[in-house]
Structure 1
Amino acid sequence: MMAEDRPAGFALVATPPHCSPGVDFFMHEFFLLQPYRGMGIAEQAAATIFAMFKGNWEIFTNLGEKNKVGQHFWRKTVANYTQGLYEEEVAVTADADGLKLIFRFSNHRLD
């Protein structure tokens, strides 16, 4: 991710076999430096990344009280990108790292 012609963050997208069965792309890491947050850069970057990779997507985020901002970000970003055509679930993930908020969508016909 770039902002003001400088690196502002990064994203790591996993593909099979590092995804759940039936998932083509998993947002493994997504980070934006603090000075660039709240400016719409992260949502724009996520949409650009989604558009680059067409298929079935899955995103996890922590369900804890300390991650309300992250939960809100992904809910808003995925809802905007998919025009509300996504699934949201709370479940224990395969990595057994506790409960996660899970977003799933397909962008085969989006954009």
Structure 2
Amino acid sequence: MNNFFLLQPFRGKGVAQKAATQVFERFKGQWELFTNPMEQNITGQKFWRKTVSSYTTNHFEEAVGMTFDGHKMVFRFNNADR
């Protein structure tokens, strides 16, 4: 998944969380989601933390560090057994 984005009029209505969940359900296995760890992206960080936590019933790892794409916040989980 790349450049997950929702237009402003649709935000806060659960549309993005439902779409992300549908993608997770379609592609089972080990997931790593990357987002910008900067203060300018607090909204994105909160969205992914809430969405991944809800989807995995809080069974995920969150870290900040270097990735192949630079310094990122990373959410890791495995949904192979869901």
**TM-score normalised per structure 2:** 0.94
Q: Which has the larger radius of gyration?
A: 1
Query: Runs of 4 or more off by more than 6 Å in structure 1?
Result: none
Between structures 1 and 2, the one with greater helix share: 2
Listed as ranges, the matches of 1:14-93 within 5 Å are: 28-93=2-67
Structure-1 separation of matches of 2:66 and 2:37: 10
5+ unaligned residues in a row in structure 1: which ranges? 1-12, 14-27
Residue 74 of structure 2 is matched in structure 1 by: 102
SS at match of 2:40: helix
Aligned residue pairs: how many? 82
SS at match of 1:67: helix
Choose between structure 1 and 2 for higher RCO, CA contacts under 8 A separated by at least 6 residues: 2
Between structures 1 and 2, the one with greater strand share: 1
5+ unaligned residues in a row in structure 2: which ranges? none
CA positional deviation for 1:92:
1.3
Structure-2 separation of matches of 1:44 and 1:95: 26
Instruction: Please list the CA deviations of residues 23-59 of structure 1 after superposition, one character each: whole Å capped at 9, or x if unmatched.
Output: xxxxx22111111001011001100110000111110
CA positional deviation for 1:95:
2.2
CA RMSD of aligned residues (A): 0.9
SS at match of 2:5: strand
CA positional deviation for 1:89:
0.7
Q: Report the residue type matching 1:88 in the other structure.
A: E
